[in-house]
Chains A and B, each alone.
Chain A
C-alpha cells in the first residue's frame, strides 16, 4: 500500500538540511513524499542546488515528490531555473 510522508521545510535557511533529511526517505522508494514549503519565503542558490539534487535522486524512484504551499514568487524562481517540471505542486493543506 502506498504511503505518504510530509516533511516541513522550516525556512529559507534550512532548505538544504531539511531536504537532506527528506532525502533519506527516498531510499524507501514508494508512495508520496510531500515537501511543505509553506513557511519558506524565498530560496537561495544552495537551496536551489539542494532541490535539484533532490529531484535527481528522486528520478527513477516509484515515489511522487510533491511541493506543497510554494508561494508564487518562489514558484516563479523554480520556473526560471526549470525545476518545476521535476515536481508536483499542491496548495492543499494536509
Chain B
C-alpha cells in the first residue's frame, strides 16, 4: 500500500505559537512539570540504581520487538515488518551491549595522568521528536539511553506513527517504573501537533531537544534557541571500486537498500561503479533479483518517484517494496523484484534520481575513472547528503582513504551495507544509534552516532597540575684558580678561540692556548667586545667551516660567549633562522618554534668567562644585534648552553673596579630575582641563596681589593651559581626595567639594575595590585623569600616586614659602598628628558620577556612608578601595602 502524505518533513515548524488553548497549554505544562520532578528525583539515583532499571527495559524491548514492529507497519504502512523487528532488537540489545558497562552517573572517566576527572550531569527534561521511518526502534533507543543517563523524556512522535510510538513509550515507561524509575520519567503527547512541538521546543524547563527526522524538524529544533540534537536527512553516495569483492558488495548493497524498504536514511542512494566492473556488477544485481531499468524506464521512474517541483522523493514511494512501486507507476518487472536500478549520467536536478530515495530504487553511474567516480560521489554528497553517510566498496586502501577525505560524512562505511553499517555495532565498531549526527554540513551540532554521551552534560574536574620543572646546566663546570688546566682533557683536532682584542693583549689567549691538548690546531677569531652583530657571526661561522672546527672556546664576557653560542648554532645547523628562533614565547616547554636537532657539523663549546656577572657560561640565552634591522634578537634554548664552563678567577683578576661593581650587582640581581621568581624551585633556590650570600660577602672586597684572590674567586663562582639559578627560574621585572633603561640612556646593565633594585624589592614585597597566574607557586611568597634572604645574611628583624626593610637597607648600603649613583637623576638625565622617554621605556620594558616570571604582575602604571622611584633615588624604597607582619 502506498501512502500519500509527505514523509520527508519539509514543513516549517512555527517558532512560537499563540493558537494553543489554555487547556492545551496546561496539558503541555503538566507533562513538563511531571518530567521535571522525575528528572529531579532521578539525580539522587546511583549507577547501580540506573543499571537495575535499564536491563529489564532492554528485555522488554526484545520481548515486544515483534509486536511493536507489527503495529508500526500496520500504522505507518512503511517498511518491512521482519526488518523492523531487527531494528527493534538492535535498538535494545546492541544499544544495551554498548551502554551496559559504561558509567553515566558520578565519575564516568578518569585521566590520572592529566589530573582530570569527567563527571556526569543529567540534562533533565528532553523533548524528543521521533520519525515515521524508524518509529518504535527510535523510541526504544531513546528510552534506554535516557534512563541510563537519568533524564526524563517527553516524546512527540510523527503523527502517522503515534500509536506504535506511544505503545513503545508505554512499554518502556511501565517497565522502568516497575524497576524504580521516577514517576513521569517518560510521556508521550496525546495528539502531537506542530503548535505543541513549537510550544515545547520553547519551554523554559526543557533542557534539550532531540529531533530525529527531516530538515523541517531539525531546523525548528535548532531555531528554538534551545540546545538541540537535530539529526536528519541524507543522500548517501557509494563508490563501487574496481578492486572490490563484487559478490559481497552487490549483496551488501541489496541488503541495505531493501532493509525496511530503504527507510534508513543512511542507505545507499547513488552508486558510482568503475567502468571495468560496471557490466558485471549490474549483471550480479540482476541475478540477485534487481531490475535494471532501461533509459525509458529510468525516465518513467524520474517522473513518478521524484517530485519535479521540489526535486525531493515522492512520499508515496517511501518505505514501499520495489515491486509495489513498479506496479504503481506501470513498470513491468519480474515478480519478487527486490530493487529497481536506474542508470543515470550525472548528479543534480537534471538527474532527478540522484536525490535521496528512501525506497528500493538505486541510481547507478558508470564511472570512467577513479576521479570521475569520486567526483560523482562528491556531487551526490553535496546534493542533500552533507555530513550524513558515505559508503565505499574497495580493496585499495589508498582509494578508501581518499574517499574518506573528500566525502563530508559523519560515517564512512567501508565494505559493508550502508544502512545497517551506519547504525553501528553490527558490521563495525561504530557506536550503536538511531540518530545520525550530520555535523555542520547537515545543520547539526555533531557528526557522532548519538548515544549516552550526548544525553549528558559532561563536567571536567580539573585538579591543579604541577607541571614538570627542570634544572638544566652544562654537565661540566670547572672552577677555582687554574681551572683552565682542565682544558687538557678535551681532545680536539681544530679549536677556534673566539675572543676580543683586549683579552688577546692581556695574554689570556696564550694562557688558554697553553692548556689545550697537544697537537691541537688553534685558530683565534678576534671580534669586537659588544653584543655580536649578524655580520660578525656570519664571518666567524665561515671560519669555523673553513677549519672544520671540532671545538670552540669562547673567552670573554657575556657578549663574547653569547656570540660563540650563536656561531656554534649556525655552524652546526646552517639553515637555522635566527629571526624565527627568536619568536616570543610564554612557556619554554610550549614554545611554538623548535630549535634544529639535525646537525651538519659538531663542535664542543667551552666558555671561559672573563667577567663575574652575566653567567653566560652556563645559561641558555644569547643576545645578538641586527644592525640592518636596528633590533636585538634574544635566543633562548638549552641547546645553546655551553658544553663546558671553566670558571677560573685568574681571568678576572684585572677586571676594572667599575666593571667589577656592575657585573657583581648584575649577579646579585640575577640571584634575587631567581629567588622570588614564579619558576623558582628548591633547586634554583639553593643556588640563588648561595649566590646572594657570596655576593654580599665578597663583592665589596673584590671591589675594594681587586687583587684579593679569594674575593675574586668567590665572586666568579657567585656569578656562575646565580646564573644556574636564573637559567632555570628566570629573572623578573628588575631586568625588564633595566634592559629598557640601559638601552635608552646607554647605562651599563649592572648599573641600570642597581638603580632599580631596592625599589623592585619593595614593590614585590607589597600586596600585588595584580597577581601573576602561576601553577608553580603556592600562595604569594615573595615577601617571605626576601625575609629568608635577610635571615641568611643575618640582617636581623622579627617580622617579615622588618626583614624586608632590612634587606633593602643592606642593598642600599652595598650600592653606596660600590660607589653606584644613588639615582637616575645623578647620571645627568633631566627630569624633562626622563619624562619624555617614559612611554618608550614602559613600552620596551613591557615587551621584555623577563617580567613574565616576576612574582607580581607589573602593570604599566606600576612600571612608570618604579622608573620614577629609580629616578628619585635610594632611601625611599618601602613596600606600600605591607603583607602580613608575621614572624618567619
Which of B38, B39, B44 gathers most chain A CB within 10 Å? Answer: B44
Which A-B residue pairs are the 6 nearest by beta carbons? A80-B40, A42-B44, A45-B183, A81-B40, A77-B40, A73-B44
Digit string of A19-53 for contact with B (CB within 8 Å is 1, else 0)?
00000000000000000000001111100100000
A18 at the A/B interface (Cβ < 8 Å)? no
Contacts of A73 in B (CB 8 A): 43-44
- Interface members, chain A 43-91 (any B CB < 8 Å): 43-45, 48, 73-74, 76-78, 80-81
Interface residue from A42, A45, A78, A80 paired with B184 (Cβ < 8 Å): A45
Contacts of A45 in B (CB 8 A): 37-38, 41, 182-184
B44 contacts A48, C-beta separation under 8 Å: no
Contacts of A44 in B (CB 8 A): 41, 182-183
Cα distance, A76 to B39, chains bound together (Å): 11
By beta carbon, the residue of chain B nearest A45 is B183
Cα distance, A6 to B493, chains bound together (Å): 95
How many residues of chain B are within 8 Å of chain A by beta carbon? Answer: 12
A77 touching B182 in the complex, CB below 8 Å, given contacts A45-B37, A45-B38, A48-B37: no
By beta carbon, the residue of chain A nearest B44 is A42
Q: What's the minimum C-beta distance from A53 to chain B, rounded to whole angstroms? A: 13
B237 at the A/B interface (Cβ < 8 Å)? no
Q: What's the minimum C-beta distance from B408 to chain A, rounded to whole angstroms? A: 40
Contacts of B43 in A (CB 8 A): 73, 76-77, 80
Q: What's the minimum C-beta distance from A45 to chain B, rounded to whole angstroms? A: 4
Cα distance, A42 to B36, chains bound together (Å): 16
Q: What's the minimum C-beta distance from B53 to chain A, rounded to whole angstroms? A: 14
B215 at the A/B interface (Cβ < 8 Å)? no
B124 at the A/B interface (Cβ < 8 Å)? yes
B44 contacts A80, C-beta separation under 8 Å: no
Cα distance, A89 to B43, chains bound together (Å): 20
Contacts of B37 in A (CB 8 A): 45, 48, 81
Q: What's the minimum C-beta distance from A47 to chain B, rounded to whole angstroms? A: 9
By beta carbon, the residue of chain B nearest A74 is B44
Digit string of B22-45 for contact with A (CB within 8 Å is 1, else 0)?
000000000000001111110110
Sampled A-B contacts (17; CB under 8 Å):
A41-B44, A42-B41, A42-B44, A43-B41, A45-B37, A45-B41, A45-B182, A45-B183, A45-B184, A48-B40, A48-B41, A73-B43, A76-B43, A80-B43, A80-B124, A81-B36, A81-B40
Q: What's the minimum C-beta distance from A87 to chain B, rounded to whole angstroms? A: 15
Cα distance, A48 to B36, chains bound together (Å): 12
A80 contacts B182, C-beta separation under 8 Å: no
B36 contacts A77, C-beta separation under 8 Å: no
Chain A binding surface, main DSSP class: helix
By beta carbon, the residue of chain A nearest B183 is A45
By beta carbon, the residue of chain B nearest A81 is B40
By beta carbon, the residue of chain A nearest B36 is A81
By beta carbon, the residue of chain A nearest B33 is A81
- Interface members, chain B 358-381 (any A CB < 8 Å): none
By beta carbon, the residue of chain B nearest A48 is B37
Cα distance, A44 to B183, chains bound together (Å): 8
By beta carbon, the residue of chain B nearest A80 is B40
Contacts of A43 in B (CB 8 A): 41, 44
Q: What's the minimum C-beta distance from A52 to chain B, rounded to whole angstroms? A: 9
Q: What's the minimum C-beta distance from B44 to chain A, rounded to whole angstroms? A: 4
Q: What's the minimum C-beta distance from B213 to chain A, rounded to whole angstroms? A: 29
Cα distance, A45 to B34, chains bound together (Å): 9
Digit string of B319-349 for contact with A (CB within 8 Å is 1, else 0)?
0000000000000000000000000000000
Q: What's the minimum C-beta distance from A24 to chain B, rounded to whole angstroms? A: 26
B38 contacts A77, C-beta separation under 8 Å: no
Additional A-B contacts beyond A43-B41, A45-B41 (15; CB < 8 A)? A42-B41, A42-B44, A44-B182, A44-B183, A45-B38, A73-B43, A74-B44, A77-B40, A77-B41, A77-B43, A80-B36, A80-B40, A80-B43, A80-B124, A81-B37
Q: What's the minimum C-beta distance from A11 to chain B, rounded to whole angstroms? A: 14
Cα distance, A41 to B38, chains bound together (Å): 17
Q: What's the minimum C-beta distance from B41 to chain A, rounded to whole angstroms? A: 6
Q: What's the minimum C-beta distance from B253 to chain A, rounded to whole angstroms? A: 49
A77 contacts B124, C-beta separation under 8 Å: no
Cα distance, A78 to B43, chains bound together (Å): 11
Cα distance, A80 to B40, chains bound together (Å): 6
Cα distance, A77 to B37, chains bound together (Å): 8
Contacts of B124 in A (CB 8 A): 80
Contacts of B36 in A (CB 8 A): 80-81
By beta carbon, the residue of chain A nearest B182 is A45
By beta carbon, the residue of chain A nearest B34 is A45
Q: What's the minimum C-beta distance from A9 to chain B, rounded to whole angstroms? A: 15
Q: What's the minimum C-beta distance from B46 to chain A, rounded to whole angstroms? A: 10
Contacts of A77 in B (CB 8 A): 40-41, 43-44
B39 contacts A80, C-beta separation under 8 Å: yes
Q: What's the minimum C-beta distance from B549 to chain A, rounded to whole angstroms? A: 71
Contacts of A48 in B (CB 8 A): 37, 40-41
Cα distance, A80 to B38, chains bound together (Å): 10
By beta carbon, the residue of chain A nearest B42 is A77
Contacts of B182 in A (CB 8 A): 44-45
By beta carbon, the residue of chain A nearest B39 is A80
Cα distance, A73 to B106, chains bound together (Å): 12
Contacts of A81 in B (CB 8 A): 36-37, 40
By beta carbon, the residue of chain B nearest A73 is B44
Digit string of B182-210 for contact with A (CB within 8 Å is 1, else 0)?
11100000000000000000000000000
Contacts of B40 in A (CB 8 A): 48, 77-78, 80-81
Cα distance, A41 to B41, chains bound together (Å): 12
- Interface members, chain B 135-191 (any A CB < 8 Å): 182-184
Cα distance, A5 to B44, chains bound together (Å): 29
Cα distance, A44 to B184, chains bound together (Å): 11
Q: What's the minimum C-beta distance from A79 to chain B, rounded to whole angstroms? A: 8
By beta carbon, the residue of chain A nearest B184 is A45
Contacts of B41 in A (CB 8 A): 42-45, 48, 77
Cα distance, A76 to B41, chains bound together (Å): 9
By beta carbon, the residue of chain B nearest A46 is B183
Q: What's the minimum C-beta distance from B184 to chain A, rounded to whole angstroms? A: 7
Cα distance, A8 to B44, chains bound together (Å): 21
By beta carbon, the residue of chain A nearest B185 is A45
Which of B36, B40, B184 gathers most chain A CB within 10 Å? Answer: B40
Q: What's the minimum C-beta distance from B176 to chain A, rounded to whole angstroms? A: 13
Cα distance, A18 to B243, chains bound together (Å): 75
Cα distance, A36 to B472, chains bound together (Å): 62
Q: What's the minimum C-beta distance from B203 to chain A, rounded to whole angstroms? A: 15
Cα distance, A48 to B43, chains bound together (Å): 14
Q: What's the minimum C-beta distance from B556 to chain A, rounded to whole angstroms? A: 68
By beta carbon, the residue of chain B nearest A44 is B41
Cα distance, A45 to B184, chains bound together (Å): 9
By beta carbon, the residue of chain B nearest A71 is B44
Cα distance, A43 to B36, chains bound together (Å): 14
Contacts of A78 in B (CB 8 A): 40
Cα distance, A80 to B37, chains bound together (Å): 8
Contacts of B44 in A (CB 8 A): 41-43, 73-74, 77
Cα distance, A78 to B36, chains bound together (Å): 11
Q: What's the minimum C-beta distance from B52 to chain A, rounded to whole angstroms? A: 15
Cα distance, A73 to B105, chains bound together (Å): 13
Q: What's the minimum C-beta distance from A61 to chain B, rounded to whole angstroms? A: 25
